[in-house]
Amino acid sequence: MNIERELARHGKLVDREINRVISENFPKNLYEPIKYHLGAGGKRIRPALCLLSCEAVGGKVKNVLPIATAIEMIHGFSLIHDDIEDRDELRRGNPTVWKVWGEALAINAGDGLFTKAFESAANLKGKNSNEALKIFARAVLEVCEGQALDISFEKSDAVTEKDYLEMTSRKTGALMEAACKTGALIGGGSKKEVNALANYGRKIGIAFQIWDDYIDFASEKTGKTFGLDIKKGKKTFIVCHALARIKGEDRARLFEILKAPVYETTDEMVREAVEILNNSGSIDYANEYAQKLVNEAKAELKVLKNTKAKQTLLEFADFVVRREY
């Protein structure tokens, strides 16, 4: 099975629904940036997980499309605002919304996308729709909580591995959990199936982010901008693990590199930081931790019947720690 092709197949369903939900063109300076952002690419992983979870418990995809679409739009909203907060000028190789339209209109576009997401979710029907909406709303709040924690890490020298896992569980894990849980719920899954898919989603979300941290250092082979997290001074999973273990000159030097302005952080400094992180064993540790979470996530799916959707979910878990971007 080609997992990327399977994700794309489900993503096309969501794209059609997004185009239906966001069909307005006036005012232009609201809807143009929204459509620009949503049309700039992305693998539609979260809504695909929602649709697959619905199928895995015997449900019909059409019944869960409103919430799957809402989940993708919330992801889009969070990225528009993240780019402003992080001062990122590019996303998926294109100028970010705020770089094209300015901060004020970008914030407004994010807010509009947020509202449209809830409008889509409100179209859910069936006996479990109210519970699914509550799960969705709670996940959106967790994403915001996770972003608040992430921002606070920038000024802290005492961020621990536990702190990082709490942050990414909210910022990344919550929406993937909600995708799987609402899909299973609307699909008519049993309590055991719904809980299993929720646990799968949360673990996959955390593993996904840790692997992102890992490939930042493997990026000379992957094509991703090498050491970008170091240049930004990010307290990644790898950095948090290392800071708990290294001492003396190495620790002081790593902090010095992390705190340097982006434009002053040379590739040589990045390589020096990577060497420190490598010697601490933290880069390999991140790889192993992500693999462990993936194995735990796959084990959760034992309660499901053997279907094509279940097999796709299992293969997606492996894809999380195989991908090079």
- Residues making up the chain, counted from first to last: 325
pLDDT digits (tens, 9 = 90+) for 60-77: 999 999 999 999 999 999
pLDDT at 266: 93
pLDDT digits (tens, 9 = 90+) for 211-226: 998 987 764 443 345 6
pLDDT at 225: 55
Q: Which domain holds residue 309?
A: 3-320
- Domain with residue 123: its CATH number is 1.10.600.10
172 assigned to some structural domain: yes
pLDDT digits (tens, 9 = 90+) for 256-271: 999 999 889 999 999 9
Range 122-126 average pLDDT: 94
188 assigned to some structural domain: yes
At 41, the pLDDT band (50, 70, 90 cuts) reads confident
pLDDT digits (tens, 9 = 90+) for 125-155: 988 999 999 999 999 999 999 999 999 998 8
pLDDT at 141: 98
Range 313-325 average pLDDT: 92
Asked if residue 17 lies in contact with residue 64, where contact means CB atoms within 8 angstroms, the answer is no
pLDDT at 226: 64
At 159, the pLDDT band (50, 70, 90 cuts) reads very high
Structure tokens belonging to residue 142 = 């967790």
325 assigned to some structural domain: no
3-state secondary structure of 128: coil
Distance between terminal CA atoms of the chain? 20
Among residues 254, 256, 173, 265, the alpha carbon closest in space to that of 212 is found at 173
Task: Kindly tell me if the per-residue pLDDT of 114 is higher than 80.
Answer: yes
Q: What is the distance between the alpha carbons of residues 257 and 246, in angstroms, rounded to a whole number?
A: 15
Residue 98 is given by DSSP the state H
* C-alpha distances in Å from residue 311, one per residue of 171, 180, 322: 27, 15, 17
Q: How many domains does the chain have?
A: 1
92 φ/ψ sector (left φ>0, alpha ψ -120 to 50, else beta)? left
87 assigned to some structural domain: yes
Kindly state the percentage of the chain with pLDDT values over 90: 85
pLDDT at 170: 98
164 assigned to some structural domain: yes
179 assigned to some structural domain: yes
Q: What is the distance between the alpha carbons of residues 84 and 105, in angstroms, rounded to a whole number?
A: 11
